[in-house]
């Protein structure tokens, strides 16, 4: 799937906000269509490669857009807070940790097949760094664990919510949902599975098999049903992830440099000046969450224990673009 000329012209000539809107719209159009049974692994990989063409352009010709990212995109935390403040009646948010645009087809088709009304389905942007704690802090929770057992303070941006965060079976999660009108439920899947699939060249394929099993199963939708009972429900994520096992290896010189400053990660909190390569292979960006050094684009390098095949926190589209799906059943 080639990158359309009009799309590239938009990125080149438009404002940063318009360029990021075009990038997110393009990513949604590539990733969201339904996937036929039996074709999930091949199709997800094909779509990932298509988004890779956008990443390549961003990394080599339009890297300055990353400096404008935070001010240009609709960040998930802000969209959720605005929605919460303006939504009347029951409200619920289901945060699936690490959910990316790759998983959207099964959420959309599952909702349609099970009789839900989809009010809004779009892309929103993760925090920088695209990691769990920055998103929690952006919502005023401090950290993910503070949501456990309704332990969040009353000063967060989703006031009045009954909160929970767990890593247990979907049906067990459904059993936790009570009659409280407002809920924020943060589940650790699929993020906690990323590191389980570190087989070289198989990470994305293995995770996709699990995704299909979960998102087409009755157990997952039992949780959705409980959360959506009498409530308008948002399904979203804190960040996406990179299928870094599919990334090309950097040259030895660049690999040695990246390993030295980033180890096996996609970002760190050093304020060391980035390297001297042009196009740049890393970028120092100041965001709401501080100044951090990020790997720029789809790069991996040799590191102790092997570079992870699924990871997040760097500067690529599928790490920062997350699904935002609003649905209901019998609630307008």
State residue 137's pLDDT score.
97
Q: How confident is the model at residue 244 (pLDDT cuts 50, 70, 90)?
A: very high
State residue 154's pLDDT score.
83
Dihedral of CA atoms 130, 94, 170, 143 in degrees, nearest 10, equals 50
Task: Calculate mean pLDDT across residues 129-157.
Answer: 95
Q: Which of 142, 222, 139, 220 is nearest to 184 (CA)?
A: 139
Q: How confident is the model at residue 133 (pLDDT cuts 50, 70, 90)?
A: very high
State residue 200's pLDDT score.
74
pLDDT tens string 39-56: 999 999 999 999 999 999
State residue 6's pLDDT score.
80
Q: What pTM, to 2 d.p., does this model score?
A: 0.97
Arithmetic mean of pLDDT over the chain: 95
State residue 214's pLDDT score.
98
The answer to whether the Cα torsion of 223, 225, 227, 232 is positive or negative is positive
pLDDT tens string 85-126: 999 999 999 999 999 999 999 999 999 999 999 999 999 999
Residue 13 predicted with pLDDT over 60:
yes
Task: Calculate mean pLDDT across residues 268-291.
Answer: 93
State residue 198's pLDDT score.
79
pLDDT tens string 181-223: 999 999 999 999 998 887 777 899 999 999 999 999 999 999 9
Distance CA 86, CA 189 (A): 28
More confident residue, 43 or 6: 43
Q: Which residues lie closer than 8 Å to 13 by C-beta, 6 or more apart?
A: none
pLDDT tens string 159-184: 999 999 999 999 999 999 999 999 99
The rounded percent of the chain whose pLDDT value lies above 90 is 89
Distance CA 102, CA 237 (A): 12
More confident residue, 37 or 6: 37
Q: How confident is the model at residue 330 (pLDDT cuts 50, 70, 90)?
A: confident
Residue 331 predicted with pLDDT over 70:
no
State residue 61's pLDDT score.
94
Task: Calculate mean pLDDT across residues 220-245.
Answer: 98
State residue 1's pLDDT score.
53
Q: Which of 14, 104, 95, 111 is nearest to 51 (CA)?
A: 104
State residue 296's pLDDT score.
98
Torsion angles phi and psi, residue 26, rounded to 5: -65, -45
Point out the least confidently predicted range of 222-236, 243-257, 261-275: 261-275
Q: Which residues lie closer than 8 Å to 21 by C-beta, 6 or more apart?
A: 72, 73
């Amino acid at each position: 799937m080639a990158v359309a000329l009009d799309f590239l012209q938009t990125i080149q000539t438009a404002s940063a906000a318009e360029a990021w809107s075009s990038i997110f719209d393009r990513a949604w159009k590539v990733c969201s269509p339904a996937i036929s049974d039996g074709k999930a692994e091949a199709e997800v990989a094909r779509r990932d490669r298509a988004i890779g063409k956008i990443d390549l352009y961003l990394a080599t010709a339009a890297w300055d857009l990353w400096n404008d990212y935070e001010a240009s995109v609709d960040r998930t935390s802000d969209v959720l807070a605005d929605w919460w403040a303006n939504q009347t009646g029951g409200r619920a948010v289901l945060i699936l940790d690490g959910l990316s645009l790759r998983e959207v087809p099964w959420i959309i088709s599952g909702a349609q097949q099970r009789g839900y009304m989809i009010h809004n389905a779009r892309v929103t942007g993760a925090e920088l760094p695209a990691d769990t704690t920055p998103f929690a802090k952006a919502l005023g929770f401090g950290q993910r664990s503070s949501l456990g057992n309704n332990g969040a303070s009353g000063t967060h941006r989703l006031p009045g919510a009954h909160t929970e965060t767990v890593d247990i079976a979907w049906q067990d999660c459904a059993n936790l949902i009570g009659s409280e009108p407002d809920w924020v439920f943060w589940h650790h899947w699929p993020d906690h599975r990323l590191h389980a699939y570190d087989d070289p060249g198989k990470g994305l394929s293995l995770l996709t098999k699990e995704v299909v099993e979960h998102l087409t199963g009755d157990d997952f939708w039992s949780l959705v049903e409980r959360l959506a009972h009498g409530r308008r429900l948002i399904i979203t994520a804190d960040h996406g992830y990179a299928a870094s096992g599919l990334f090309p290896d950097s040259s030895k010189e660049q690999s040695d440099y990246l390993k030295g400053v980033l180890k096996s990660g996609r970002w760190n909190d050093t304020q060391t000046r980035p390297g001297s390569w042009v196009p740049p292979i890393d970028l120092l960006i100041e965001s709401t969450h501080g100044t951090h050094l990020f790997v720029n684009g789809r790069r991996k390098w040799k590191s102790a224990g092997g570079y992870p095949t699924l990871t997040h926190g760097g500067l690529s589209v599928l790490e920062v673009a997350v699904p935002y799906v609003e649905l209901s059943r019998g609630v307008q």
